[in-house]
């Protein structure tokens, strides 16, 4: 069983004392994300009357989003939340809940319970709201590269050098400047340019 109601953990005084930058990412996202809609959709993954009451689903969803946003491990996200006021505010974790906040293994249990379907609900509603509010562009794609079939080739120094020579060639041709390098020699020695 999990708590599916949302209760604000912070007073206006706490917010004024601890949240100095109202333009910080997590402060803005906290107001934009449709918490109730996500909680309603995910509450079906939990039994209404079995077991002890666990952490708030609102808190758990926020932790998952912080993990994704900052690319943190289970252990690191728990530690960061204990130390960072903006993360505490975003996740709705009050000061009195920090000492025995959450064990990192609880996040594994959450992911297992929600599965792919539950995680996609969180992402769908979050990205819909971010698109509609203009925070992200609908033309962009956020891709988890760990699930792609092929390896991704990241730009390395050699690729960047070849790209710069290509741009210099276009510039030289446009302005009638003679090329001062030999393309065959450049390709031949490309591996030794680093």
Question: 59-99: per-residue pLDDT in tens?
Answer: 999 999 999 889 999 999 999 999 999 999 999 998 887 88
3-class state of residue 56 by DSSP: strand
- For the stretch 131-140, pLDDT in tens is 777 666 666 5
pLDDT of 119: 87
Residue 151 has pLDDT above 60, yes or no: no
Query: How high does pLDDT run on average in the chain?
Result: 79
pLDDT of 144 above 60 = no
**Nearest-angstrom CA–CA distance, 120 and 41:** 11
Greater pLDDT, 51 or 45: 45
Cα distances (Å, whole numbers) of residue 154 to 65, 70, 88, 142, 166: 26, 20, 34, 16, 18
């Amino acid at each position: 069983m999990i708590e599916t109601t949302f209760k604000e953990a912070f007073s206006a005084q706490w917010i004024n004392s601890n949240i100095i930058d109202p333009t910080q990412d997590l402060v803005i996202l906290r107001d934009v994300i449709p918490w109730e809609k996500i909680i309603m959709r995910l509450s079906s993954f939990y039994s209404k009357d079995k077991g002890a009451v666990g952490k708030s689903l609102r808190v758990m969803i926020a932790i998952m989003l912080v993990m994704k946003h900052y690319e943190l491990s289970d252990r690191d996200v728990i530690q960061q939340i204990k130390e960072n006021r903006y993360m505490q505010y975003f996740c709705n974790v009050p000061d009195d809940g920090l000492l025995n906040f959450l064990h990192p293994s609880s996040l594994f249990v959450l992911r297992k319970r929600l599965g792919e379907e539950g995680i996609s609900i969180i992402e769908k509603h979050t990205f819909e709201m971010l698109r509609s509010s203009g925070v992200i562009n609908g033309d962009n794609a956020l891709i988890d590269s760990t699930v792609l079939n092929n390896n991704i080739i990241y730009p390395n120094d050699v690729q960047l050098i070849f790209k710069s020579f290509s741009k210099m060639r276009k510039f030289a041709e446009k302005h009638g400047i003679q090329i001062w390098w030999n393309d065959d020699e450049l390709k031949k020695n490309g591996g030794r340019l680093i």
